[in-house]
Amino acid sequence: MEEDLKEYMLFHIHRNITSLFKSYIVITEDLQKEHEILLKKVEEENGSEFAKNIDYFDSNKYTYIRKKILDTGNEILRDIDRQFDLVDVELNSDKIKELKEYKLSEITKFNKRTTITGTSDGKTKFKGKLI
């Protein structure tokens, strides 16, 4: 159970961090497109040679930035994995029970004919109609 929880947490942390650095790549693509639009305007006003001389955000620069973003994101993911190897994760069963009881009381608040009882194996049993 604890390993499943740890894997679940790591999966979602990885997914969110991966989404974060993918969004940085999309932002970089947007910046490159904006740069190209600006260069076209400069070329119209000052000639293609001048535009070529001031172009700093070419495909090589984009590839370099993209690689840095991916390398940084992957290093962060590896570091999180190393840190999680030092951690044992466990659920606070008292808080879970408290939350479960609160939710069950909310479910039955408006229905007087519903009863909820616990079984010997720790499961919850409902009797009546739930709305």
Q: What is the pTM of this model?
A: 0.63
Average pLDDT over residues 120-128: 62
pLDDT-derived band at 106 (thresholds 50, 70, 90) equals low
Average pLDDT, the chain: 84
How many whole angstroms separate alpha carbon 122 and alpha carbon 1? 16
Rounded percentage of the chain residues whose pLDDT exceeds 70: 75
pLDDT at 100 over 80: no
Structure tokens at 104: 């069950």
Q: What is the pLDDT of residues 56-75, one digit of tens each?
A: 999 999 999 999 999 999 99
How many whole angstroms separate alpha carbon 12 and alpha carbon 34? 33
pLDDT at 42 over 70: yes
